[in-house]
Amino acid sequence: MNNLVKTNIHMMAKLTQKELTQRHLEILEFAYEYYKKNKIGPLYNNFFKFVKATKEEINNLFPHGLNSIYTWIGIPIQTTKDGCKPAAEITVENPREVYLDYNATTPLRKEIIEELKSFFDANNNYGNPSSSTNLGVKAHDLIEFARTKISNIINAPEKSKIIFTGGGSEAINMAIKGIAFANFEKKGYIITTAIEHSAVLNSVKFLEKLGFQATYLKPDRYGIIHPDTLQEAIQDNTILVSVMMANNEIGTINDLNELAKVAHKYNIPFMTDATQAFCKIPIDVQDLDIDLMAFFAHKIYAPKGIGALYIKDGISIEPLIHGGEQEFNLRAGTENTAFIYAFALGSMLAYREMNVEIKRLTELRNYFFEKLKEIHPEIILNGHPEKRLPNNLNVGFKGFDSGSILLSLNKIGVYVSSGSACHAGSVETSHVIKACGINTEDYGIIRFSLGYYTTKEDIDYVIKYLPSILKELKNY
């Protein structure tokens, strides 16, 4: 099941005060797959035949039997007599698609699509970058071109390394586990924060199973990690400090320079996840004194499946993938030349336009928030009011459920998130929101993230129909 269906299931269960069990999910999964294959919903005999669910069991598990199952997973039914409404049903004039989930991913820019078409149409870029043929040399040169361009964008020192990976999560795993495995015999202590992306958190938790120790620093209510909090956590055997540059959910930007100073006072490597910050705000790895930095392409209108890890000269890590000598002997496997090239192009375009986009998106975001306050005066802003990404607007609607708002907006073509995209399909409070102590008992949290293709007309479309959505949801 996709995450939209999962979100609907969680909302329906919540509305009908049903605690979801594994049996609920087993039956719903079967019904979803059956409908996808046969284009009709399964009847009671099918449920008994394939998942041994009797009519009595289904009627006990679901408030309105088959009607509930169909409604929960989105199978069309002729009557809504027994249905619940997790989303508002409103009529819109001149419907349009408004994408406001750029922190989750971005569309490919037209320039990159055209370059990739030319790349593949030429049919002379397929050489193995490690081979000694002319085709191999051409591929190798394209990769080095990309490496140089990205290095220049972040002002990487000459002897540092840019390692291309299969995505941001791999780059994060490479940095954290690479440092840990280089210290495997003596183990050691890792410091990170409670608001990191799951790629960081789960990497550290995995290392804890292997005997490493860890601390997860708490932010303040705005999502800021303070240097004195880090200072208090330092231990003699600390091997790594990892603090994200900008938070993917609430948009807060941390002062990495001050945090790195604390780590380097004890000669501890300092790593950052710059996924949301790369080419959205200026990054100078020398000025910030960063040792390792992970970032990737699909947040800047380039393809998914390609990322990078910056490694400062003098920092040693163990590779996770063994084989050939590619990527400075740190990441074996024939490089994805096309996507590496596209990554560089996306970086160059985003960097060239960064200052203009910072101003444009900040103004558009502020306009949006002022309009939201007019619609719903009790709305709250999550994250730091000033030290935040220009495109991020994470808000709380008092008296509403985030899942209901998300599904209602989706019905009129407005695409947003109620948390991190990697945790979509659940209505549980995100770990970031919890760590910041934000009230979710009374507030439905929605993340609007703007981007390159967002216009004032898009924002006005949301503003036009949001009051009707909130009014209908209030009456449920």
CB 156 within 8 A of CB 301: no
CA–CA gap between residue 240 and residue 321 (Å, rounded): 21
Listing DSSP states for 352-414 in one string gives HHHHHHHHHHHHHHHHHHHHHHHH-TT-EEES-SSSB-TTEEEEEEET--HHHHHHHHHHTTE
Q: Which amino acid is at 395?
A: V
Q: What is the CA radius of gyration of the chain?
A: 24
Cα–chain center distance at 193: 17
Report the DSSP beta bridge partners of residue 443: 398
422 is catalytic: yes
Looking from the CA of 293 toward its CB, the CA atoms found within 13 Å total 29
Query: Per DSSP, what are the bridge partners of residue 294?
Result: 273, 309
Parallel/antiparallel/unpaired status of strands 414-415 and 307-311: unpaired
As a whole number of angstroms, the distance between CA 341 and CA 126 comes to 13
SS3 call for 161: strand
Kindly report the backbone phi and psi dihedral angles of residue 126, in degrees, each rounded to the nearest multiple of 5, phi listed first: -90, 5
Angle at alpha carbon of residue 379, lines to 87 and 373, rounded to 5° = 100
Alpha carbon separation from 53 to 49, 63, 77, 82, 261 (Å, rounded): 8, 15, 21, 21, 61
CA triple 70-75-76, angle to 5 deg: 110
The catalytic residue positions are: 422
